[in-house]
Every structure is written in structure tokens, then in C-alpha cells.
Amino acid sequence: MVRMIAPVVGLLAAGAAAVPTARDSTCSSLSQTDFKWSVSDLQYNSSVIFSTPAHQIDNGVIQFNISNPAFPGKAASICTAYSTRPNDFFYGDQVFTCNAGIPEGGLTTTFTYNAPSKTLALNQSWSCAGEQTSFTYEGSVDLSSKLKCQNEEYTNPKWSIGETYTSNTTTCTAADFEWTPSSGSAVAK
């Protein structure tokens, strides 16, 4: 049985006898009741450096840890993406895969980031071993109000070979936050 749901809360509450629905701590119920991801250590950095007036070096990186409440106490998945596409680096068109900290459940996480709109989108799927259930959740979050950024621009007026000509670096961090998926589906076998 497959059900599409939005919001996620209350998923499978009706009509899915095979899935435990009590407020217990089984993987299946933790995957449904009041489900929220926890995001920590989110960082976004970008730099555009001219090592000579004609040589531009571009780097962007976004990184965060995300943990899934269905697997309490397990290491978070680590999501990292690099880009060399100035000036915004991330345009929401490339899908990146996170490094699962949890080997069980086939946990798979993919994400995109759109720097112009500061939108982080994420898909995560997993199954609950021995409970015959699997879940796929999707979420999207606007980081505009979460990112705290510092920008540093530098110009070398007396540039000579071997020195940096100009640099423009941005370093952003965000406080840890909880993230409720916008939609999801569950399969009970």
C-alpha cells in the first residue's frame, strides 16, 4: 500500500493495520509521529579570487549534518557539495548525495541548493528493518533568515606576480534547526 501525504503527521494512522501506530518508539512510529529532521553545523562558503588580473579561482561549498529521528542516537548523515560555478555556485539543478552515518535501513539522502533563492531541498528514504515499512520524505527550506554571513572583499592596489590581486569571500553559518518535511509517502508491505 502506498499513500501520499501532506503534511506527514498522522501518516498511515488509518487503515494500515500492519503498521504500529501507537506512540511507541518503534522505527515505524518514529518515522511518522511528529517527524522532524534535525540539521546541525550548516555552513556555506564562497570565494572568488583573482590570483592575477586574468586568473580567477572560484569555490563554493555547502555542508550540513542531518539526523533522522527514526534512528535515535545514530550518527547524522553528512551532506557536502562543492562547486566551481561562479558567482552563485549552486543553482538548484545539481543533485548531491549525502554520506549516510547510519548503515542500516538503506538510508539515502539527496539534496539540491539554490543560492540565489537560498532554498535547500532534500529527499530522504529509508526502511524499518523487521517492520515491513519504508518511507520517502521530501522537504524544502528557505535559509534566508537562517544564514548569518560575513563578506570580505580585498583589493591589492600594488599587485605584483605571486600576490592575490582581488578576493571576495563569504562565510555563512546557521544555528541548528528542526525541519518538518513537506510531503512524504510510506509503504507497508
List Cα–Cα distances, 182 to 4, 5, 49, 70, 98, in angstroms.
11, 9, 38, 17, 19
Residue 170 contacts ligand NAG per CB under 6 A: yes
Q: Phi and psi of 19, rounded to 5°?
A: -100, 130
Residue 138 contacts ligand NAG per CB under 6 A: yes
Report the residue number, 20 or 50, with the smaller CB distance to ligand NAG.
50
The CA distance from 26 to 115, in Å, is 37
Residue 131 contacts ligand NAG per CB under 6 A: no
Shortest distance in whole angstroms from residue 170 CB to ligand NAG: 5
Exactly one of 21, 38, 51, 123 binds ligand NAG (CB under 6 A); that residue is 123
Exactly one of 56, 117, 151, 156 binds ligand NAG (CB under 6 A); that residue is 151
Report the residue number, 105 or 181, with the smaller CB distance to ligand NAG.
181
Residue 168 contacts ligand NAG per CB under 6 A: yes
The mark string for 34-73 relative to ligand NAG (x by CB under 6 A, - otherwise) is ------xx-x-xx--------------x-x-x--------
Shortest distance in whole angstroms from residue 22 CB to ligand NAG: 30
- Write out the residues near ligand NAG by the rule CB under 6 A: 40-41, 43, 45-46, 61, 63, 65, 75-76, 78, 87, 95, 101, 110-112, 121-123, 138, 151, 153, 168, 170-171
